[in-house]
Amino acid sequence: MGPHYMNKLVKHINKLNEETRARGAVGFLTNDPEHWAGYGVYTIAQFQDYLEREYQHNIQKEERRNY
C-alpha cells in the first residue's frame, strides 16, 4: 500500500479524534501510520474493520465477565 492510502487513513483518524474531542472525550486513537501498519491496517476500510472487531471482542469480554 502506498503513502496515498496512509495519508487518507491519517486524515480519517484525525477527523474522528476531532469529533471525539468535541464531545468532551479524553481518549484518542493514534494517527501513527506505522502503528496501524503493525496491525495490517493501511486503508480506511481496514481501519473500520479493525475497530468493529475490537468492539465485538470487548462486548464478548464484558459478557463473559458478567457471568
User: Which of 67, 27, 65 minimizes the C-alpha distance to 13?
Assistant: 27
In this predicted structure, what is the pLDDT of residue 65? 85
In this predicted structure, what is the pLDDT of residue 31? 96
Q: Which residues, given as ranges, of the chain have pLDDT below 70? A: 1
In this predicted structure, what is the pLDDT of residue 4? 84
In this predicted structure, what is the pLDDT of residue 49? 97
The answer to whether 36 and 42 are in contact (CB under 8 A) is: yes
Q: How many domains does the chain have?
A: 1
In this predicted structure, what is the pLDDT of residue 1? 64
Its domain, for residue 38, covers 3-65
In this predicted structure, what is the pLDDT of residue 55? 92
The answer to whether 20 and 51 are in contact (CB under 8 A) is: no
